[in-house]
Amino acid sequence: MSKKFKIDEREIGDGITPLVIAEIGINHEGDISKCKQMINDAYKSGAECVKFQCHVIDDEMIPNDVIPPNATESIWNMMKRCSLSEENEVSLKKYTEDLGMIYLNTPFSREAANRLNRIEVSAFKIGSGECNNLPLISHIAGFGKPIILSTGMNDLESVSESVSILEKAEVDYAIMHVTSMYPTPYDKVRLNAITELKEKFSGIPIGLSDHSFGNYTCFGAVSLGASILEKHFTSDKNWPGPDIPISIDPEELRDLIIGSKAIFESLKGRKTFLDEEKPVADFAFSSIVTIRDIERGEKFSEENIWVKRPGTGEMKASDFEKIVNKKSKVNIKKNEQLEWDMIDE
């Protein structure tokens, strides 16, 4: 059974247009004016949701000199520079919600989660690095709010442990497939993992948080049933920042939103004849017609009947074999469309 839930008033799940999350993350480099510019540009591009990262450094990590593969400085220095204060995050949440958008944030520590709960976020996003951080997941689940769980660097067994905590807490949740490579080569995106996750966690909304270039893989994810799409976002690709090279800009975000909706809509329906196709069928299909005058009692054959456009006749091309060798009940002129009452049964 498909499980659906809401973040604010936005429903998420199978049969619903995918939610596109514009991941601002740390692309602001600690500059509030950049934060607001990206929020505005995401809004103008049609985004429903923006997401930030909440870093309370002393609670998140010990001082270190570890350099991420997509950066040139230590993670400690980077997060020190890019972290926002609680006052900043309250301001940005209000700024986002005043535009009618959803404000999401990813906590990277217990205190960050507590902060976000204090400022009354409507849902939590758990990053891939915290997917197997079971104590933190349990802490966040304790708030009782919806959770979006990213799963990069984790296999199905590891993800299952985290999911069991969410199930026990009885919170609404979605699971995001992620490849934690920046950028992700297309052959490492592994879109089939979306299908695996849907099979393993039946009914749970599954999404894609993507770090490859462009929107191609997100479009592919929609066709596999993704309910959420997440891409890093920036107003300007010339800005500095470790995630800028894999970020989409306002024009690409607009394309992702429009394109994902188009693909979602195009997946509906089954292989049937639509009433809306009839006007085309009227001229494109063929009907059975006489190709010379036929006398009453004469047998029908390929010598006196054939199939020709338009398809407005009573007897369609698919009926041809049904009447071959049957006899005409009446005299029929050349180029007349056959009707069933002309056939001598």
pLDDT for position 253 = 98
Q: What is the CATH number of the domain that holds 63?
A: 3.20.20.70
In a domain, 9, yes or no: no
Dist. CA 184–CA 304, nearest whole Å: 65
Condensed to tens digits (0 to 9), the pLDDT of residues 57-108 reads 999 999 999 999 989 999 999 999 999 999 999 999 999 999 999 999 999 9
Together in a domain, 241 and 335: no
- The band of 2, judged by pLDDT with boundaries at 50, 70 and 90, is confident
Residue pair 57/76 in contact by the 8 Å Cβ criterion: yes
Dist. CA 182–CA 6, nearest whole Å: 30
Together in a domain, 149 and 228: yes
Percentage with pLDDT > 90 across the chain: 99
Please list, in sequence order, all residues whose beta carbon lies within 8 angstroms of the beta carbon of residue 252, skipping any fewer than 6 positions away: 214, 215
Within 10 A of 320 (CB to CB), how many other CB atoms are there?
17
Condensed to tens digits (0 to 9), the pLDDT of residues 213-246 reads 999 999 999 999 999 999 999 999 999 999 999 9
Q: What is the mean pLDDT of the chain?
A: 97
pLDDT at 1 over 80: no
Amino acid identity, residue 73? E
Together in a domain, 279 and 259: no
What is the pLDDT averaged over residues 109-129?
98
In a domain, 1, yes or no: no
State the DSSP string of 284-328: HS-EEEESS-B-TTPBP-TTTEEEES-TTSSSBGGGHHHHTT-EE
What is the pLDDT averaged over residues 302-314?
97
State the DSSP string of 59-118: HH--S-----TT-SS-HHHHHHHH---HHHHHHHHHHHHHTTPEEEEEE-SHHHHHHHHH
Together in a domain, 108 and 248: yes
- Residue 103 bridge partners (DSSP): 50
Together in a domain, 293 and 249: no
Together in a domain, 134 and 279: no
Residue pair 132/77 in contact by the 8 Å Cβ criterion: no
- Residue 332 bridge partners (DSSP): 294
Please report how many Cα atoms fall inside a 13 Å half-sphere around the Cα of residue 17, on the Cβ side.
13
Together in a domain, 38 and 117: yes
pLDDT at 7 over 80: yes
pLDDT at 115 over 90: yes
What's the domain count of the chain? 2
Together in a domain, 224 and 289: no
Condensed to tens digits (0 to 9), the pLDDT of residues 264-278 reads 999 999 999 999 999
Report pTM: 0.92
Together in a domain, 65 and 144: yes
Q: Which of 235, 266, 297 is the last residue of a domain?
A: 266
Together in a domain, 115 and 156: yes
pLDDT for position 345 = 79
pLDDT at 189 over 90: yes
Together in a domain, 180 and 239: yes
Q: Which residues span the domain enclosing 325? A: 275-339
- The band of 156, judged by pLDDT with boundaries at 50, 70 and 90, is very high
pLDDT at 298 over 90: yes
Phi, psi of 236 (to 5 degrees): -145, 120
Q: What is the CATH number of the domain that holds 319?
A: 3.90.1210.10
